[in-house]
Amino acid sequence: MAQLDSKIPEGDLKDKWTNYKEHQHLVNPANKRKIDIIVVGTGLAGASAAASFAEMGFKVKAFCYQDSPRRAHSIAAQGGINAAKNYPNDGDSVYRLFYDTIKGGDYRAREANVYRLAEVSNSIIDQCVAQGVPFAREYGGLLANRSFGGALVSRTFYARGQTGQQLLLGAYSALSRQIGLKNVEMHTRCEMMDLVMIDGRCRGIVTRDLLTGEVKSHFAHCVVLATGGYGNVYFLSTNAMGSNGSAAMKAYRKGAYFANPCMVQIHPTCIPQHGDFQSKLTLMSESLRNDGRIWVPKKKEDAEKLRKGLIKASQIKDEDRYFYLEERYPAFGNLVPRDVASRNAKERCDAGFGVNSTGNAVFLDFKYAIERLGKDVVEQRYGNLFQMYQKITDTDPYKEPMMIYPAIHYTMGGLWVDYELSTTVPGLFAAGECNFSDHGANRLGASALMQGLADGYFVLPYTVQEYLADQFNVPRINPAENEAFQKAEADVKAYINKLMSIKGKESVDSFHKRLGNIMWNNVGMARTKQSLETAIEEIQKLRQEFWQNVRIPGEANELNNELEKANRVADFLELGELIARDALHRNESCGGHFREESQDNGEAKRDDANFMYVGAWEYKGENQAPELHKEDLNYQFIKVQTRNYKTGK
């Protein structure tokens, strides 16, 4: 078994990153021009990394599948971004942000990485303000903050309900500047199909141009994957339709370990599903839980009447409402972490208290906030979210409470990376949601934006340089004259050909939906040994069927949306099994991973004695069982405890 060396620097937690930066190797400015870096994905992590590399003097090639880097799904993040500025003077600090993140992640993240994340968080806010990101401000002209789930301080910076959009447009503007200066060569509508390995190092990628179908390869001295998460394995999620796990899976097949794939976050406040034709689920920002109160009826007969449409929520008296989060978790109330809020909603609905026609919804009520603050203040804070809700559901949330239900939202798991964000493949880095590193078993709200930008602006620019310090002597390779590149291209063409020649009867979407059903029913919010074994078996069967019966109309050498989807679904069909395998082996409940066998009065029960490690899976070949490697988590600086959101101490 290969040793997983996380390369954590020596020294006190507070000094590790400073020590690293002070002693790392650098590349001299003249040599930076001789070095190419490929960045795949242009969301927060990818765009910020590509822009920063180019500013430093490296030559960058960036790739995205959308028609513009501005469209990456980071743009959809609503609520905010955390930082330890302590502007509100409410007791925040770098240590507290670090501690909350580790605790929120249920003690399954690496201490040193998370501390560094908290440490650079303040620089992110400075950087974004300098770019012209219009964060919310107070009348005095200084930045405003709000509170978010899993924290007792107000450390979240926001730009209305469009924080992700504004941060991404900030990174996109920095990237655009570098494209204009010709330091970045931007490839849009282009999908990565494989990595190219030369002498054990990653030296480039093979891509398919989504407009022409052209398969082409590109050389670089190192490659950064910032390709986001894999929530779309479940078909229905809050992810964009094109979000996929293919780049990560291609890397996995080339030797990059896949860590904690079962750690999937189910977000508690999404608009409930309404039909079989549904294509995606829409998130309502967690910030709504600041002022909205979550409840279901106390009486089952009220719930039944609601489901049949006989009464409205507003007709149920206060004393007949069960504010279950406030009662069960008095210290955090409606602001418990996402995994806890989601499981409690499921528990109430399973017990027969669901409030919409499908029985899978709970209320998020603003009546009390409107009484307390007035409609104007509520509108100022959440107006755009209310408008969005009304457009989708045709219901006015100022009058009737919102209905919400949990949905797949974020994947904490991802490619295993060390402290330098390097995968187990030399020369291949992973950043943002694509890696596993900072959120453990559960991510706190407003931390994804923080991590994406931390990786891209403030971590990779250092750590990539450490790797590249001895690489300036490696001459650029012309893929057309290189055997490894030619073989990789030929392999990709053969793979596409294999997909195109199936010529079956069932559409790609149909397979994707069937996979999603298996995943949601067996590898969703509550998992058992039996459900996971069922999932593995059914996914294997479905995968076989896919390769015999999928129908992809059109040709490979033209714009072909069905072929694009088929390539992604083929990878999801493997990734789904990997998630189930990881969930099966992890016989404990932690964060977003809940095994019914491991609970204590309905609360998740961690098993630190046996599972306090990162589970990293190594690919062993087609239809072979992957091999598990463990990276033990040694908490040296904090005391590991059972998460407690019930009492204030």
Stretch that binds another protein, among 103-111, 130-138, 411-419, 538-546 (CB under 8 A): 130-138
Give every CB contact of residue 447 below 8 A, 6+ residues apart in sequence.
82, 101, 104, 438, 439
Q: What are phi and psi of 187, to 5 degrees?
A: -115, 105
Active-site option among 116, 155, 338, 543: 338
Interface residue with another protein among 4, 114, 169, 236 (CB under 8 A) is 169
Strand partners, 627: 618
Find, among 13, 20, 11, 12, the residue nearest to 458 by Cα: 20
**Which of the residues 507 through 526 are near another protein (CB under 8 A)?**
507, 509-510
Q: Which one, 336 or 388, has the nearer CB to another protein? A: 388
Give the DSSP H/E element, type plus range, for residue 31: helix 29-32
Stretch that binds another protein, among 235-243, 285-293, 478-486, 629-637 (CB under 8 A): 235-243
The answer to whether 476 is a known catalytic residue is no
Distance in angstroms (rounded) separating the CA atoms of residues 423 and 421: 6
- Min dist CB 397 to another protein, Å, is 12
Interface residue with another protein among 52, 113, 121, 334 (CB under 8 A) is 52
3 state SS for 52-79 = HHHHHCCEEEEECCCCCHHHCHHHHCCC
**Which of the residues 372 through 411 are near another protein (CB under 8 A)?**
387-388, 391-395
> Are 150 and 104 a contacting pair, CB within 8 Å?
yes
Find, among 420, 416, 433, the residue nearest to 256 by Cα: 416
CB neighbour class for 383 (10 Å; exposed up to 12, middle 13-18, buried from 19) = middle
What binding mask, one character per residue, do residues 239-278 give for another protein by CB under 8 A, x or -?
-xxx-------------------------------xx-xx
Strand ranges (E), 343-445: 362-365, 402-411, 414-415, 428-430
What binding mask, one character per residue, do residues 90-129 give for another protein by CB under 8 A, x or -?
--------------------------------xx-xxxxx
Q: Which one, 404 or 612, has the nearer CB to another protein? A: 404
Q: Which one, 135 or 252, has the nearer CB to another protein? A: 135
**Which of the residues 278 through 317 are near another protein (CB under 8 A)?**
278-280, 282-283
- Min dist CB 299 to another protein, Å, is 22
Residue 14's CB is within 10 A of a number of other CB atoms, namely: 14
- Min dist CB 176 to another protein, Å, is 4
Stretch that binds another protein, among 175-183, 222-230, 256-264, 344-352 (CB under 8 A): 175-183
Q: Rule CB under 8 A: is residue 26 a binding residue for another protein?
A: no
- Min dist CB 506 to another protein, Å, is 9
- Min dist CB 162 to another protein, Å, is 7
**Which of the residues 626 through 645 are near another protein (CB under 8 A)?**
none
**Which of the residues 56 through 95 are near another protein (CB under 8 A)?**
66-73, 75-76, 85, 87
- Pairing relation of β-strands 402-411 and 264-270? antiparallel
Tell me the number of residues near another protein by CB under 8 A: 85
- Min dist CB 480 to another protein, Å, is 26
Stretch that binds another protein, among 173-181, 331-339, 341-349, 535-543 (CB under 8 A): 173-181
Q: Which one, 30 or 130, has the nearer CB to another protein? A: 130
**Which of the residues 448 through 487 are near another protein (CB under 8 A)?**
457-458, 461
Residue 632's CB is within 10 A of a number of other CB atoms, namely: 9
- Min dist CB 555 to another protein, Å, is 10
Q: What would the two tokens of residue 321 be?
A: 């409402």
Type of residue at 604: A
Interface residue with another protein among 562, 607, 608, 618 (CB under 8 A) is 562
Q: What angle do CA 262, 531, 232 make, to 5 degrees?
A: 45
Distance in angstroms (rounded) separating the CA atoms of residues 290 and 301: 29
- Pairing relation of β-strands 258-259 and 414-415? antiparallel
Give every CB contact of residue 281 below 8 A, 6+ residues apart in sequence.
236, 237, 238, 270, 271, 273, 407, 408
Distance in angstroms (rounded) separating the CA atoms of residues 70 and 176: 10
Interface residue with another protein among 140, 475, 621, 648 (CB under 8 A) is 140
Interface residue with another protein among 559, 603, 628, 638 (CB under 8 A) is 559
Give every CB contact of residue 528 below 8 A, 6+ residues apart in sequence.
595, 596, 597
Find, among 416, 409, 414, 642, the residue nearest to 524 by Cα: 409
**Which of the residues 181 through 210 are near another protein (CB under 8 A)?**
186, 188
**Which of the residues 336 through 375 are near another protein (CB under 8 A)?**
none
Stretch that binds another protein, among 4-12, 371-379, 549-557, 600-608 (CB under 8 A): 549-557
Interface residue with another protein among 20, 148, 172, 324 (CB under 8 A) is 172
- Min dist CB 209 to another protein, Å, is 12
Interface residue with another protein among 214, 350, 533, 558 (CB under 8 A) is 558
Give every CB contact of residue 226 below 8 A, 6+ residues apart in sequence.
39, 40, 41, 42, 43, 45, 46, 49, 430, 431, 432, 434, 452, 455, 456
- Min dist CB 549 to another protein, Å, is 13
- Min dist CB 398 to another protein, Å, is 15
CA distances from 475 to 33, 35, 301, 306, 489 (A): 12, 9, 74, 69, 21
Stretch that binds another protein, among 18-26, 156-164, 590-598, 601-609 (CB under 8 A): 156-164
Distance in angstroms (rounded) separating the CA atoms of residues 427 and 424: 9
CA distances from 95 to 112, 444, 484, 520 (A): 12, 16, 47, 36
CA distances from 199 to 61, 143, 426, 470, 527 (A): 22, 50, 10, 15, 42
- Min dist CB 392 to another protein, Å, is 7
Q: Which one, 180 or 475, has the nearer CB to another protein? A: 180
Stretch that binds another protein, among 8-16, 222-230, 237-245, 493-501 (CB under 8 A): 237-245
Kindly list the catalytic residues.
Answer: 338
